[in-house]
A and B are shown apart, each in its own frame.
Chain A
Amino acid sequence: MSLVFTEEQKLFAETVRQFAEEEVEPRVKHMVETNEFPRDLYKRAGELGFWRVNIGEEYGGLGLGVVESCIVMEELCKVSPAFGLIVEIGVNDLMFLEANSVLHKYLEPCMSGEMVHSAGATPATGQSNAGERSVGAVRDGDDYILNGTYYYITNNNAGDPMMCEILAKCEDGSIRGFFFTDKTPGYEHTHQDWKLGQAGTGGGTAILTDVRVPAEETIPSGVGLSPFYFIIYTHFGAEALGACEGFLAKTIEYCKNRILNGKPMTKMQVVAHKLAYLQSRVDALHSMVYDCASTYDYLQENPDPVLEADFMRRAESLKVFSGEIAAEVARECMKLYGGMGYHSPEIWHYFGDMEDYSIMDLTTDIHWDQLVTLMHLND
């Protein structure tokens, strides 16, 4: 286990970076201004194998670890946190499909980028509000019947073909993941208007009216503190990390070139110190992300319950820490950019995008509660 990338990992990062800089970055302004889903870039991400990274080779995946999927998230988010989010949905959730042989039918089209993976888990009562969540899936013979409304469906603006993943509560109180296509009778969704950030990633509302899904096309989903979520938190951390690195690098470049009273802004001591302060935060975040990722990968080969508990707690810490660091970096970089940033969508999108990391999935407040549990403070 090492935090230093292998030669293969460095090469992989270089490939992702090249794609991000050459193909994604030129499209950022358009995404921010139109809120359109970049379907062709989605296809390209499939061609480059981003959704195959964590999937086993026996299913057509690359069988790589979470370090590699974090590299994907980090590099994409440097130029476009929104595109990073679009890709992340599949990187996380296609792992669900691996566990169910009937659902393998969706794997190849999703991994290739032909079929877009949209996902929703927030009922009207709120994502973190398990107690008030009403039953959304009722067993009917070999099927489940789904009813209800779900908010914030990421990627739901992508068009056909689309796979929909909905996490719904069953009669026995458990949460299951349901997989179907957007053409399934009874499934309707609306498009999300503008959000604070993450333009182009959808986020509309899905309305399910007697949507019938075969029981064998569902999977049980752990609620709360199942290990699966800690891979997601690690990916969130990598997204926040990439966004911080991308925005900070642009800001440093701007400050070097912006002349104030005959000198570059970086010659002002307070500006230089602020950039150094932000860099120190981002470097700490980098260590946390790859510590969690490599620990997880190590645990796959070397099971160790004590280390696994440590990993879970550290990944939980990473989620809260990365959200707050990202928001701080975004605020400070915006301030350095001044009016030039405030009037440039290709700059200010970071400000709105990076506010998402303290909200997405569960908010920072809820994550403090989860961390309290992992610290055994409320046994």
Chain B
Amino acid sequence: MSTRFTGEQLALQSTMREFAEKEIAPRSKEILTTEDDFIPRDLFKRMAELGIPAVMVKKEYGGLGLGLTEACIIHEEISKVSPSMGLVAMCVMSQAETLQDWEPARKKYLPGILSGDIVCDGAATAPEGHTNMADWQVIGTRDGDDWIINGTKLFCSMNTAADLQMLYGFDEDREFRIWFIEGDTPGFEHRAADNKLGMHGSGGGTSSFTNVRVPGDMCAPGGIGNSNQYYHLYSIASVIALGAAEGAYEIAEKWAHTRTSNFKPLTNYQSIRHKLAHCATELAILRAAIYESTELTDDPENADRGHMLAQMCKAFVPDECLKIVHDLNILMAGYGYHNVEWYHFYCDIMGCIIMDLPTDYQYEELTVLLGLTEGLDQ
């Protein structure tokens, strides 16, 4: 299955699998029912000890300087037992990747982020909608050397636990910027996500800003970081959905072997065997596509092709994973419907579909990448 991986990548995969199975799995119920909508803080710290925030950070800044393939291996294994921890890993990893390119923030916060002492969340979605950036209100205005922030952001992952927030938005000249705002800054308030469908433990509430003052050096131009980071997120969102579906499949396969009907295991029934075979086939093909996209992306000469494939994966993979788990829901029947440790996979995958840009908008962007249109339908 993993012949394409190098020895180091296989070692990373087995480390992550052990972490997921031994440390996350026994606590999955705790993660799913957390009161403050954040994963247990000690597990967050363990993720840092294992180097997860450092994966995409350059070695000279104390990171591991690894590629997207390694990032996806990590997310796949974690998401097999906890997609919401996969989402937390994605946020931590991508924010560290961006933050390293802004020196004042790097010096002040990166060591704490890499050690797991600082929880850094990201806030982007304006009330007008993520895809609707043209209508986003101005959020930051200059005041001498400082910035004054006013406005609201929705769906801020990890916001309930955040010590630091990276706020994405427009200034009064409609320049896209990133502000680094400490959690206890006056005028900065967090509200926990009301009650989400899935991805429990990953935050996702509302952040509001009332005359929040941010020092001038804690504002970076929107262009910092890897300009292709979006495509990285597409691959990672796809692999979280894939890991979730693989985790669900493992449970369902075990169930089909042990659950009997009329004294025969469910696998004795041809339609059930075929259903499982069909799900396994789809998962293998989806997985191949994702790692094809990451390998291409990690190779500078082929990165453009990798990005296109990453976008295709984000549009296609989570959607297919949801259908796979729907088929498995039927197999698990009442036992699955009544068991949060099963059905969260279905709800979490829905989260991967709507995460960042929903499916229709992914295809809209693909029409541009494919040269089918000059620009987005606006």
Closest A residue to B376 using CB positions:
A261
* Size band of the interface chain A makes with B: 35 or more
**Does A193 sit within 8 A of B, measured CB to CB?**
yes
Give the number of A-B contacts (CB < 8 Å).
Answer: 143
Instruction: Evaluate contact between A334 and B350: CB separation under 8 angstroms.
Output: yes
* Shortest Cβ distance from residue A209 to the other chain B in the assembled complex, whole angstroms: 22
Instruction: Evaluate contact between A152 and B338: CB separation under 8 angstroms.
Output: yes
Instruction: Evaluate contact between B330 and A364: CB separation under 8 angstroms.
Output: yes
* Shortest Cβ distance from residue B170 to the other chain A in the assembled complex, whole angstroms: 15
Instruction: Evaluate contact between A196 and B350: CB separation under 8 angstroms.
Output: no
**Does A276 sit within 8 A of B, measured CB to CB?**
no
Instruction: Evaluate contact between A131 and B262: CB separation under 8 angstroms.
Output: yes
Instruction: Evaluate contact between A335 and B334: CB separation under 8 angstroms.
Output: no
* Interface hits, A253-276 → B, CB 8 Å: 258-262, 268, 270-271, 274
* Shortest Cβ distance from residue B107 to the other chain A in the assembled complex, whole angstroms: 34
Give a binary string over B193-233; 1 marks a CB under 8 Å from any A CB, 0 the rest: 11111100000100000000000000000000000000000
One of B19-27, B52-60, B130-138, B301-309 contacting the partner: B130-138
* Shortest Cβ distance from residue A360 to the other chain B in the assembled complex, whole angstroms: 8
Task: Tell me how many residues of B have a C-beta within 8 Å of chain A.
Answer: 53
Instruction: Evaluate contact between B334 and A262: CB separation under 8 angstroms.
Output: no
* Shortest Cβ distance from residue B293 to the other chain A in the assembled complex, whole angstroms: 22
Give the residues in chain A near B363, CB-CB below 8 Å.
270
Give the residues in chain B near A331, CB-CB below 8 Å.
322-323, 326, 350
Instruction: Evaluate contact between A342 and B354: CB separation under 8 angstroms.
Output: yes
Give the residues in chain B near A334, CB-CB below 8 Å.
197, 350, 353-354
**Does A358 sit within 8 A of B, measured CB to CB?**
yes
Closest A residue to B130 using CB positions:
A339
- Bound state CA distance, A3 and B130, in angstroms? 44
Closest A residue to B355 using CB positions:
A339
* Shortest Cβ distance from residue A354 to the other chain B in the assembled complex, whole angstroms: 11
- Bound state CA distance, A70 and B227, in angstroms? 56
Closest A residue to B261 using CB positions:
A129
Give the residues in chain A near B337, CB-CB below 8 Å.
195-197, 355-356, 359
Instruction: Evaluate contact between B330 and A358: CB separation under 8 angstroms.
Output: yes
* Interface hits, B324-378 → A, CB 8 Å: 326, 329-331, 333-334, 336-338, 340, 343, 346-347, 350-351, 353-354, 358-360, 363-364, 376-378
Q: A130-B262, A192-B338 are in contact. Are A359 and B132 (CB under 8 A)?
A: no
Give the residues in chain A near B193, CB-CB below 8 Å.
343
* Shortest Cβ distance from residue B351 to the other chain A in the assembled complex, whole angstroms: 6
**Does B272 sit within 8 A of A, measured CB to CB?**
yes
Give the residues in chain B near A274, CB-CB below 8 Å.
360
Give the residues in chain A near B263, CB-CB below 8 Å.
131-132
- The contact of B259 among A126, A127, A359, A368, by CB within 8 Å, is A126
- The contact of B129 among A122, A192, A258, A352, by CB within 8 Å, is A258
* Interface hits, A225-265 → B, CB 8 Å: 258-262
**Does A348 sit within 8 A of B, measured CB to CB?**
yes
Instruction: Evaluate contact between B330 and A335: CB separation under 8 angstroms.
Output: no
Give the residues in chain B near A344, CB-CB below 8 Å.
194
Instruction: Evaluate contact between B334 and A151: CB separation under 8 angstroms.
Output: yes
Give the residues in chain B near A92, CB-CB below 8 Å.
none
- The contact of B329 among A192, A193, A271, A359, by CB within 8 Å, is A359
Instruction: Evaluate contact between B334 and A194: CB separation under 8 angstroms.
Output: no
Closest B residue to A128 using CB positions:
B261
Instruction: Evaluate contact between B271 and A368: CB separation under 8 angstroms.
Output: yes
Give the residues in chain B near A196, CB-CB below 8 Å.
329, 336-338, 343, 346-347
**Does B268 sit within 8 A of A, measured CB to CB?**
no
Instruction: Evaluate contact between A268 and B262: CB separation under 8 angstroms.
Output: no
Instruction: Evaluate contact between A132 and B260: CB separation under 8 angstroms.
Output: yes
**Does A203 sit within 8 A of B, measured CB to CB?**
yes
Give the residues in chain B near A363, CB-CB below 8 Å.
330-331, 333
- The contact of B351 among A130, A203, A342, by CB within 8 Å, is A342
**Does A304 sit within 8 A of B, measured CB to CB?**
no
**Does A172 sit within 8 A of B, measured CB to CB?**
no
A-B residue pairs, 9 tightest by C-beta: A131-B262, A348-B197, A196-B343, A261-B378, A129-B261, A338-B354, A363-B333, A363-B330, A345-B195
User: What are 25 pairs between A and B in contact, CB < 8 Å?
Assistant: A127-B333, A129-B261, A131-B262, A132-B263, A193-B340, A196-B338, A196-B347, A197-B337, A259-B132, A260-B132, A261-B376, A262-B135, A331-B326, A334-B197, A334-B350, A335-B358, A335-B360, A340-B129, A341-B197, A342-B354, A348-B196, A351-B350, A359-B329, A359-B333, A365-B275
Q: Taking A192-B338, A261-B377, A365-B330 as given, write out 7 further A-B residue pairs in contact, using a Cβ cutoff of 8 Å, ordered by the A residue number.
A: A151-B338, A260-B132, A262-B378, A336-B358, A337-B354, A340-B129, A359-B330
